[in-house]
Structure 1
Amino acid sequence: MKYQVGDEFLQELPLILGGPILKHTESESVTVWVALKQSCQVKLKVYDTTNDGETLGNCLLEGERSTVALGKYLHVVAIAAQSKVGHRLTGGRIYAYDLQFIVADQTTQMQQALSSNSSPPVSISYFDHQKPTFALPPKHFQDLQIVHASCRKPHGYGFDALPILDSIIQASANQPQHRPHQLFLTGDQIYGDDVADPSLWVATTLGDALLGWEEQLPVNGVYCTPQQLPPGKRADVATQAGLTAGLHNKAEKVNNHLFSLGEYYATYLLAWSPVCWPTAFPQGHQVKRDRHAIKKWNREVQHLRQFIYTLWKVRRALANIPMYSIFDDHDVSDDWNLNQAWCLRVLGHPLGRRIVQNALLAYTVFQGWGNTPGQFTKGKSGEKLLAAAQVWSASQGTDAKANEAIARYLGMPASDPHTDLPILVRDGSVFILDRHPEAITWNYIVRSDCHEVIVLDTRTWRGYPADQKPIAPPMLLCSKAFEQQLLLPLQQVTEQTQIQTTFVIAPTNVFGLQVIDWIHHWHLQQEKVFSTDVGDAWNINVEALAKFLITLFEERQQVVILSGDIHYSSVAHLSYARTHSKLQSVLVQLTASALKNEEILTRLIHTRLKDWLLPEKVRHWIGWIDPPNMVEISDKQLQHNRQLLTNSEWHCVLEWIPRNSVQTSTYTADILSLKAPWKRTENAKWKWLQPLIFWKSRWFQDGREVVGLNNLALVHFEFADESSSSKVMQDLYWFSSWYPTQIVYSRFESQLTPNQALLR
């Protein structure tokens, strides 16, 4: 049974297929991304408001740009609005924006473009004027509100936590100092490798329909279309292409791996908008024969139906807060660029290389363009990439020059003509993937009057040790990347710039739980690095970690890391001191994961069981600056030999911040809009049993160190006074397991000063 997507289906859809999504936003420029079903000239206007956002005022910024034709029914644009007379937006005010779509001298207003004859009216505003709104970061960091999250798999276990953001914004929409000011998605916005059968069933057909043609994929010496590689039948092909998700008895993870460009495009639309999803799915017995496969299909459909039910809230939230993102591995494929072995195996295979290029192009269009709109202006590499993507699609995937241009501007490494393997070049003691000088960059910086956010690309600039095995853990940033992505941005801030807080987004954790470190080191000794992502955490390569800390603390005394990836959330506090000087610094790592991908293990460590069996202890390191290195020492060693500190150039102490007791959020009343009717019925059915399940009791769920259920993080600050130091607080919102189901939050509070008692 096929998903019936054709010209008739697409023509009945609204003009806007995805978005609008508010992207890079600053005082002089506002960028909005939108995906349409036909080519348009798009106008963006940004308005001042009065009465706390209730009334539209003067137009302050304007912009106009044509869409990019990525397919017959997929036309995308990230349009930037600026002022022609010097208007500047400021913190402490609410602004609104509007879009107009011009086709053949006919103008369609945004509200019309959001609906169609077959689709009901859509609201993407919190005000009667029906315009999306936003507020810039304030002047003082104690008023700053930042949301961050990662890892959102549509068929993952549990409820999607991203719709909670809509509830948070709605509750404070008319309060510019209290509504969230920025959203950072720190990786795995989609799962290209781990896709449900019903999701691929939709994405394959929708992708082909959006493009208007079928991609010819190089599969073992022949060409196949996506339709010839149906759901549940892709594991062998994916594994032969070198994709590691299929190794170590994990074939079920790649049975539905995305391959084609259309599939990656479609998956983004399906993740952020309810428009293109089918109104109904077939029953398992209509598409599967095996009893186990039928059961699995029906279970995944139930997860997807709940996911789709709240997509309207996700869509509204993303229209009303500046959203920034960076990729992690699953945006492309599991273990993407994990080590040199992965690069040689996957990028040296025609299908593997095509998959990575398709995923990166889709990321560029759906995420990267809005993150760094300046790279996509006239004459820049981004504009050239978009032009090549248009030519590639217009030629139905046959224009070789367009394909070469796409690879060049995406930074795909050239292939050795003799071996077909990707070319690696030396950067000091490591190898890095070669790339063309015109390739666009994925790292970027966001600055306001009170803070800066340095977003790192730790996937495409890795340094692979030249004198070790190909599976050796890499430097997540090679020496060149350290300078370009971290050192230079830190040095750009002048004395006149009042940056009060520095955030660094490191998609994979700088520090992980002790037990995870043990597992990684054991798997590295066994040379089984792909099953647990050995090499993705910073602290598995101690030289790179030492350089990271030294680089940060040479320029800043206070750093907040935002991270995700690991499917649990936590807060860690690192105190750092130079041995022979008074310099002391602090790093606070705020981890938020997953939005929708909780697992049995994360549900276990979420509870008090983790604190009973494997409590986290204070950890100590001593380090040196030239060359950068660090060694972990135990409490016992430190107590018996204080000379260890004297012989080192710096030392640091890591402690895990416990979470406060669970609190019921003010968004509990909104729970009905977050749970589908059949889920409410299911909960009511087992209401009598809830008090008897010890596992689900509030007391047992009130763990100490992590939140392991699907969650969303809200970061805010407490200003220092004479009697106390400044604090950073991370409130993690999640769905309680006790009855009646509620939205609750766990607060982590960390000082923004070094722990003097531990440094002595």
Structure 2
Amino acid sequence: MDIPILLAGPMIRRADCEKIYIWLATSEKLSIEAELTTIHTENESHIYHKIATFCESETICGGEFLYIYLIKVSPKEDKFPYDTLLGYNLSFKKENLTYDLSSFDLLNKDNPQSIVYGDLKYPTFYLPESSHSTILYGSCRKPHGKGKDTLAVADSTIQKNDINLRDRPSNLFLMGDQIYADDVAAPLFHVISKVSRLLTGNQTEQLQKLDERLAMPTHQSALQKINGRQYIMDNFCNFTSGNASNHLLQFSEYAAMYVMILGPALWKQNNLPSFAELLAENKLFFKTTDHSQHKKDLEKHRKRYDEQLEDLLSFIQTLSQVRRVLANTPTYMIFDDHDITDDWNLSWKWKENVSKTPLGKHVIANGITSYWLFQGWGNDPAAFNSTFFNRVSHYLYPSPTTTDVYNDWMDLVLNFQSWYFVAPTNPASLFLDTRTMRDYDINQKSTIIDKLIDWEIKPAQLIGKEAWYALSKRLYQSEWKKGEPLIIISPTPLYGVQFIEDFIKRYIYPLRFLNNDVLYNLDFEAWRYNGTGFNNFLQQIAAWDPKVCMILSGDVHYANAIRSQVEFKDRKTMTIHQFTSSPINNMSFPSITRSLIKSPLWISLMTKDKHVMNRCCDEHNNLLKTDDTKNMKWKEEIQYLTPLQGSLMETDNNLGQLTWNDSYVENKQLKYNGENTFEREYINKTK
């Protein structure tokens, strides 16, 4: 099989007036440089002026046919201009050959896979000055998710405003679950298996050296076949995902997943097979040989396969549009659990159980490594020093699991806690890491039961107290100053839907003592489930004292808008605006949450005349709905903001659009309305 040179990208990553980073992945080692131009439009004609720049490139080899680049472009004089359309091209050199993006037919506006908009010559972006910016944001993009991928809606938005910088999005925030490593569709698993071998030249990780049970023929067969990995993930990794039958394990599998969801480059060479074809090739795993049960399993697998295949085909249709969005919009990404595995670090008990399994740690380390290469590296490249770079690079060359190289890599990625960052947006955007900076309150045990049980499964502080110091330090090290407007990205919303969280906490959470599956199936990790963590969040915002505080969130598979007025014991007050947008492509809710949230009309009726809620925090960090605020640390009035049309919540696939200028904050949801069009649903406008 021939493999294309350009596997994924180009993608605009961190961008400010002093440096711009461009990410891409290729199948060959190349010398790559970027060229930037300013673009001005006069009398409907575009005028291009080349900018004198310095260009540096860093490369990591992830396999025999996988090279990942981060290209840094900086101006030779002055700074890159604000509020000016900037275009770029890439030149590629190998031996005596030289070519650019046009060589791949990506600059041809008549090509359906073009990465340019309108009649522009190049992919473009701009750097907004302090007065105005528009940010797209969302999370949860599952290839076989239900509905249409709303990143394609972002493409329509940019297409409509390609030279109109007032309305064109300036940035894209992806806030978690950019991949679903634990929930891989059967048809996609087949393709990933092929692509992962293609990228590595058929080299595979010797997983049996991590767990000798994997050398058994039964488990070897299960590893390679579709739907065969659930038992292995449950028992050899101590993972808790209920959809892990095709869980990613090797780095090459994670890498293949990213390549397949970031663009269309490899899809044309990997047609998805039918269920009958895979069955004939003995590619499917069945738990039992009992004839009657096998027949039932066969029909169940067939039905699920055909359903997933239909959803994947819909997803693939928009990949060219997705690549164009990423090529034309500075993009920042933070992980959530599905980027690694479901329930990642959910509780102290989960973390301890997985840490006891060499295979479990290995899978997590592979997931984190792939996250860094495909997402995290471009957020803030200066945060990763030469030690980090070298240890990851050395691991990615084939090496035995007993070597110092392997141990150094494992120690680095499993203990690294600087994934948070500040994006140079307008206003500045602080991205929180709510997965590796958790505090499990294990030092706050008092009773015998606390010591034996409760601390193991008690909801965590999503950001520990000590971690807030590190976040604050990073924020002040950026150009942000106390009292300026601030955007905070929390993958999980600070403010959820109160009556749903109350119901789960009051009636479902106590069942964890009977069955830990309750804990993992319903993900008890809302901020309010740990009062100490919630209080610390509010206290930290108060200490920063931003002029305007906006929290952007995803994760929960709905969109809504909330405003909270907080008054502290010393009478100091602050206002928080929270805008949640999710999912990008995954209209689904597990277990009881599905029935509670799926009907927006029912939620509207339930909350009629109750759009405002009052709450306080007592001296023990309990969040109470009470009028007795004598010993409170703070009290707040939470308002669920009502859109012009529809219910308080949007459960279709959606993408948030936040517009900011000095006088107002405006938030909208973008979603599909029909097959090829989109609508903007007005959510909230606040002065």
TM-score above 0.5: yes
CA contact (8 A) 1:447 1:453 kept: yes
Tell me what 1:445 maps to: 422
Q: 2:116 aligns with which of 108, 111, 125?
A: 125
**1:147-192 CA-partner distances (Å, limit 9, x unpaired):** 0010000001111111111111111111223211111000000000
For residue 613 of structure 1, report the CA deviation from its aligned partner: 3.7
The change in CA–CA distance for 1:241 and 1:522 in structure 2 (over 3 A counts) is farther
For residue 469 of structure 1, report the CA deviation from its aligned partner: 2.5
- Local SS of the residue matching 1:280: coil
Tell me what 2:324 maps to: 316
Q: 2:440 aligns with which of 464, 471, 483?
A: 464
For residue 658 of structure 1, report the CA deviation from its aligned partner: 1.2
Q: Distance in 1 between matches of 2:153 and 2:374?
A: 22
The change in CA–CA distance for 1:179 and 1:154 in structure 2 (over 3 A counts) is same
Tell me what 1:664 maps to: none
Tell me what 1:28 maps to: 18
- Local SS of the residue matching 1:169: helix
Residue 200 in 1 paired to residue 189 in 2? yes
TM-score (norm 2): 0.87
The change in CA–CA distance for 1:513 and 1:543 in structure 2 (over 3 A counts) is same
Q: Distance in 2 between matches of 1:269 and 1:236?
A: 27
CA contact (8 A) 1:332 1:359 kept: yes
Residue 404 in 1 paired to residue 407 in 2? yes
Q: 1:61 aligns with which of 40, 53, 67?
A: 53
For residue 138 of structure 1, report the CA deviation from its aligned partner: 2.5
For residue 743 of structure 1, report the CA deviation from its aligned partner: 1.9
Letter in 2 for 1:618: V
**1:117-160 CA-partner distances (Å, limit 9, x unpaired):** xx9784111154531100112221xx210100100000011111
Residue 556 in 1 paired to residue 541 in 2? no
Letter in 1 for 2:527: W
CA contact (8 A) 1:45 1:62 kept: no
Tell me what 1:731 maps to: 668
Q: Distance in 2 between matches of 1:223 and 1:605?
A: 41
Moved more, 615-624 or 75-84: 615-624
Alignment of 1:37-436 (within 5 A): 37-51=27-41, 54-84=46-76, 86-113=77-104, 122-140=113-131, 143-212=132-201, 213-218=203-208, 220-223=211-214, 228-246=223-241, 250=242, 253-277=243-267, 278-288=269-279, 290-376=298-384, 380-389=386-395, 392-395=396-399, 400-410=403-413, 412=414, 435=415
Identity over aligned residues, as a percent? 25
- Local SS of the residue matching 1:442: coil
Letter in 2 for 1:619: M
Letter in 1 for 2:409: I
Letter in 1 for 2:397: S
- Local SS of the residue matching 1:9: coil
Tell me what 1:665 maps to: none
The change in CA–CA distance for 1:494 and 1:281 in structure 2 (over 3 A counts) is closer
Tell me what 1:536 maps to: 525
CA contact (8 A) 1:329 1:335 kept: yes
For residue 100 of structure 1, report the CA deviation from its aligned partner: 1.2
- Local SS of the residue matching 2:508: helix
**1:232-277 CA-partner distances (Å, limit 9, x unpaired):** 111111111345444xxx3xx1111111111100000111111112
- Local SS of the residue matching 1:554: helix
Q: Number of residues paired by the alignment?
A: 638
The change in CA–CA distance for 1:87 and 1:243 in structure 2 (over 3 A counts) is farther
Q: Distance in 1 between matches of 2:238 and 2:600?
A: 34
Q: Distance in 1 between matches of 2:417 and 2:543?
A: 28
The change in CA–CA distance for 1:561 and 1:381 in structure 2 (over 3 A counts) is farther
For residue 617 of structure 1, report the CA deviation from its aligned partner: 4.4
Over the aligned positions, Cα root-mean-square deviation in angstroms equals: 2.6
Letter in 2 for 1:510: L
Q: Distance in 1 between matches of 2:553 and 2:563?
A: 14
For residue 64 of structure 1, report the CA deviation from its aligned partner: 2.9
For residue 211 of structure 1, report the CA deviation from its aligned partner: 1.4
Residue 475 in 1 paired to residue 475 in 2? no
For residue 230 of structure 1, report the CA deviation from its aligned partner: 1.4
CA contact (8 A) 2:15 2:424 kept: no
5+ unaligned residues in a row in structure 2: which ranges? 280-294, 446-453
Tell me what 1:510 maps to: 494
For residue 442 of structure 1, report the CA deviation from its aligned partner: 0.5
For residue 749 of structure 1, report the CA deviation from its aligned partner: 1.1
Q: Distance in 1 between matches of 2:246 and 2:479?
A: 50
CA contact (8 A) 2:7 2:265 kept: yes
Q: 1:714 aligns with which of 640, 657, 664?
A: 657
Tell me what 1:608 maps to: 601
CA contact (8 A) 1:375 1:382 kept: no
TM-score (norm 1): 0.79
5+ unaligned residues in a row in structure 1: which ranges? 1-7, 413-434, 639-643, 662-701, 721-725, 753-760
Q: Distance in 2 between matches of 1:29 and 1:494?
A: 15
CA contact (8 A) 2:141 2:178 kept: yes
The change in CA–CA distance for 1:308 and 1:49 in structure 2 (over 3 A counts) is same
Letter in 2 for 1:266: A
Q: Distance in 2 between matches of 1:602 and 1:313?
A: 33
- Local SS of the residue matching 2:83: coil
The change in CA–CA distance for 1:155 and 1:174 in structure 2 (over 3 A counts) is same
CA contact (8 A) 1:33 1:78 kept: yes
CA contact (8 A) 1:570 1:591 kept: yes
Q: Distance in 1 between matches of 2:575 and 2:438?
A: 26
- Local SS of the residue matching 1:645: coil
Moved more, 558-567 or 593-602: 593-602
Moved more, 163-172 or 548-557: 548-557
- Local SS of the residue matching 1:659: coil
Q: Distance in 2 between matches of 1:719 and 1:363?
A: 35
CA contact (8 A) 2:500 2:596 kept: no
Q: Distance in 2 between matches of 1:175 and 1:399?
A: 56
Tell me what 1:749 maps to: 684
Letter in 2 for 1:549: L
For residue 227 of structure 1, report the CA deviation from its aligned partner: 8.2
Letter in 2 for 1:71: G
For residue 106 of structure 1, report the CA deviation from its aligned partner: 2.6
For residue 750 of structure 1, report the CA deviation from its aligned partner: 4.8
CA contact (8 A) 2:560 2:650 kept: yes
Letter in 1 for 2:467: A
Tell me what 1:651 maps to: 635
Tell me what 2:292 maps to: none
Q: Distance in 2 between matches of 1:602 and 1:713?
A: 24
Letter in 2 for 1:58: K
- Local SS of the residue matching 1:222: helix
Letter in 2 for 1:91: Y
Tell me what 2:450 maps to: none
**1:306-342 CA-partner distances (Å, limit 9, x unpaired):** 1111100000010000000000000000000001111
Moved more, 343-352 or 54-63: 54-63
For residue 62 of structure 1, report the CA deviation from its aligned partner: 3.1
For residue 447 of structure 1, report the CA deviation from its aligned partner: 2.8
The change in CA–CA distance for 1:574 and 1:532 in structure 2 (over 3 A counts) is farther
CA contact (8 A) 2:106 2:115 kept: no
Q: Distance in 2 between matches of 1:743 and 1:234?
A: 39
Residue 484 in 1 paired to residue 470 in 2? yes
- Local SS of the residue matching 1:469: helix
- Local SS of the residue matching 2:363: helix
